[in-house]
A and B are shown apart, each in its own frame.
Chain A
Amino acid sequence: MSDGNIHGADIAVDAAGLTATGGVDPNGVSTSDATAQANADGAASKRRLGVGFWIAVFWLFIVFFAATFAPWLPFKDPDSNYIVSGERPPYAPSGAHLFGTDQDARDLLSRTVFGARVSLTVGLVAIGMGMLFGGFMGIMAGYFRGWWDRVISFIFIIFLSFPALVLAILITALLERSLRTISITLGILSIAPVGRIARATTISFADREFVLAARTLGAKNSRIIIRELLPNVLIPMSALALLGMAVAVVAEGGLAFLGLSVEKGPTWGKVILTGAGSRDLQKAPWIAIIPIIVLFLTVLALNFAGDRIRSYFDVRETAL
């Protein structure tokens, strides 16, 4: 009856597919082939990181390498004044100063590189703190719910509703403006956003049956959290980590504009600030623009790499 019809139709479709792949299609384009190709491409691109990712990683590598080994690399002293007698600084980019100099004739290339040391440290420490404390609190809240959730969520809300800038100003104004204080300040600020992501992801995974299945097999809470939940929660969190690091780097720039960044040595924010006066922007735009471009490219690379890593490791997206 109707069963027979369905089978008949199936066979007809199969036959059509066969002829198409056989190249009998008069138009020369076999539809089934084309779709198969598109599907294969789609699946492959999901599992490939792509050229853009490697460019981003290459850029980040250069920045991190230069920042890490700056004192041992042949950079000029970032705090010396390279005044050429008879000429008024700032000097435009040239062979002697690839990025040019600022108004005090300090070499901008080395200032940018040494600034990266501070900016990247701030970014890493901030997001590291966010991941550690925020992640821990978020997973606890999401897994145990109840009072844990109520208390931790309340703490997150307080952090989120307190103006971040005011808190940063408060801390940096009261304490010394050292690298440690700035990093910890931005770290505290990143706890709540990271924690909320961790909590939301944990909740969605804790409801999955595999967590219940693990429990029915006798797994303890600690085991479930570490073995079952953490790997799943870490994927969205690690993508966020790179994005969050980008945000922290930019935040340091913001603090520098208020004169509240690290006191000693150059930072990206402070370097940009030296060239940010309106007269300087007109007469010597490179002072601000070049570090801005470096900062922009770094933040872009962090964002891009974070996004690619997330989709690469997202096994669930590639499934089906």
Chain B
Amino acid sequence: MNKNDHIQTDRRMESGAPLLELVDLKTHFKTERGLVRAVDGVTLSLKRGESLGVVGESGSGKTVLARSIMGLLPSTAVKHGSVKFAGQDILGFSAKQMRHLWGAEMSMVFQNPLNSLNPLMKIGKQITEPLKLHLGMDKATATATALQLLRDVRIPEPERRLNQLPHELSGGMRQRVMIAIALACGPTLLFADEPTTALDVTVQAQILDLIGEQRRDRNMSVILVTHDLGVVAGHTDQIAVMYGGKLVEHAPTKTLFANMKMPYTKSLMRSIPKLSDPSHTRLATIPGRPPDLVNPPLGCNFAPRCMYALPKCHVEEPPLTPTADPKHVYACWYPVGSPEFEKRDAELQATGYMPEDFSAVS
């Protein structure tokens, strides 16, 4: 299916070794207010063909994480740690060095398909340009490949689309085109930064299924960045929950949903409306705002908003602790299931999870 495999075969390592490995990645921005710790010590690894969901609220650092890996940050960013892609440390790569990876080895699908296509360039041209650039295809081959890509992403009448401008297509179609462009050169790593946020719910599922399908067909790794736990549930192998620039829980998807440890993950889960709820159920929200990344709170970042926080949470930062399953790590002093948590949960249940004193705190 993928005609471009031969180009990458020499760079592909023995199966089993991670394709992407982050060790203590830190991305800080120098601003007038001070140092913004947008990503603060993230360690992750992703095998080829696997998909990772990065979940968190706005401002949790998930987009910055994705862009740090891709090297798409402004020059005010200061990066530490290491990002290994296919065994190569790419964190210090210049834009010039990264350009060989962009498109060919890693590419990105953006949030808003209405904005991510050039309004004045025909769809066909937008797909064939990277093909000509990276793979040196001639016009005819590139056009044939573009047609195949449009068919792969299930766009009806692909021949006609090649000569259309983006505004002639619907939002869902444009996102499909965007995915086709991102897939064009056969990347091994695809970033999808909230790819369905701008689309309506029925189209959302189709787009996510499409990304999943292409991942399997092309044996490509996917990093799905989203704020919606529901989105990642069915489409990822592992989930990293981020809060305030830090990893707070990281586990294989099934393990995470079966056994959430971090109260923040639990709260995120609770804030998704459920069909089984009786009507007019008040939606559980997480009170307060994400932490100020210039002056993060002492102790656990989430403590000021956490209904289960005890004094220790406010002074000491919890380390990432493994559970019985070493792949499942979390950062919490009193995780779900601990005696302290259960005690507090019982108290909260009595008040219907709406403690009066809480609004005063936040």
Which A residues contact B (CB, under 8 angstroms)?
Answer: 1-2, 208-210, 212-220, 227-228, 231-232, 315-316, 318-320
By a CB distance below 8 angstroms, the chain B residues around A318 are 167
A2 touches B279 (CB 8 A): yes
B133 lies within 8 A of A316 (CB): no
Q: Determine the chain B residues whose CB is within 8 A of the CB of A227 once the complex forms.
A: 118, 121, 129
Contact B134 A218 (CB under 8 A): yes
- 17 examples of A-B residue contacts, CB within 8 angstroms: A2-B279, A210-B116, A210-B117, A210-B119, A212-B72, A214-B118, A216-B107, A217-B133, A217-B181, A218-B99, A218-B104, A219-B129, A231-B120, A232-B119, A315-B167, A316-B167, A318-B167
Bound-state CA distance A5–B70 (Å) is: 47
**Inter-chain contacts of B111 with A (CB < 8 A):** 209
Contact B167 A216 (CB under 8 A): no
List residues of chain B with CB under 8 Å of any chain A CB. 70, 72, 99-104, 106-108, 110-112, 115-121, 129-130, 133-134, 165-167, 178, 181-182, 184-185, 279
Name the 9 nearest CB pairs between A and B, nearest first.
A319-B167, A217-B103, A209-B116, A218-B103, A218-B102, A217-B130, A209-B115, A209-B110, A210-B118
Q: Which residues of A contact B165 (CB under 8 A)?
A: 315
Q: Are B115 and A232 in contact (CB under 8 A)?
A: no
Interface centre among A212, A217, A319, A320 (most CB of B within 10 A): A217
Other 8 A-B pairs with CB < 8 A, given A216-B182, A217-B133, A227-B118: A209-B110, A212-B110, A213-B178, A216-B106, A227-B129, A316-B119, A316-B167, A319-B119
Interfacial chain A residues near B103, Cβ < 8 Å: 216-218
Partner of A217, one of B115, B129, B166, B279: B129
Q: How far is the CA of A227 from the CA of B100 in the complex (A)?
A: 19
A77-B121 Cα distance, complex, nearest whole Å: 51
Q: B residues within 8 A CB of A216?
A: 70, 72, 102-103, 106-108, 182
Interface of A is mostly: helix
Bound-state Cα–Cα, A316 to B121, Å? 12
Q: How far is the CB of B15 from chain A (nearest CB, A)?
A: 26
- Give the docked Cα–Cα distance between A28 and B285 (Å): 52
- Shortest CB-to-CB span from B37 to chain A, Å, is 23
Given A218-B102, A218-B103, A218-B134, also A213-B108 (CB < 8 A):
yes
Tell me the minimal C-beta distance from B177 to chain A in angstroms. 11
B interface SS class: loop
> Chain B: which residue is nearest A1 at the CB level?
B279
| In the bound complex, CA of A210 to CA of B111 (Å) | 11
Which chain B residue shows the least CB distance to A213? B116
Would you give the shortest CB distance from B118 to chain A, in whole angstroms? 5
Shortest C-beta distance, B182 to chain A (Å), equals 8
Residue of B nearest to A211 (CB): B118
In the complex, chain B residues whose CB is within 8 Å of the CB of A316: 119, 167
The distance in angstroms between the C-alpha atoms of A218 and B131, with both chains bound, is 11
Check B115 against A208 for contact (C-beta < 8 Å).
yes
Docked complex Cα distance between A210 and B110 (Å): 9
- Contact in complex: A320, B167 (CB < 8 Å): yes
Q: Smallest Cβ distance from B316 to chain A, in angstroms?
A: 40
- State the Cβ distance, A52 to closest chain B Cβ, in Å: 25
CB neighbours of A315 from chain B (8 A): 119-120, 165, 167
Interface centre among B119, B165, B166 (most CB of A within 10 A): B119
Instruction: Find chain A residues with CB under 8 A from B110 CB.
Output: 209, 212-213
A228 cross-chain contacts in B, Cβ below 8 A: 118, 121
Please, how many angstroms separate the alpha-carbon atoms of A227 and B108 in the complex? 20
User: In the complex, A270→B186 CA distance in Å?
Assistant: 67
In angstroms, Cα B118 to Cα A320, docked, is: 16
Which residues of B sit under 8 angstroms from A220, Cβ to Cβ? 99
A239 smallest CB distance to B (angstroms)? 15
Instruction: List chain B residues, Cβ under 8 A from A217.
Output: 102-103, 107, 129-130, 133-134, 181-182, 184-185
Contact: B108 with A218, CB < 8 Å?
A: no
In the assembled complex, which residues on chain A have CB atoms less than 8 Å from the CB atom of B72? 212, 215-216
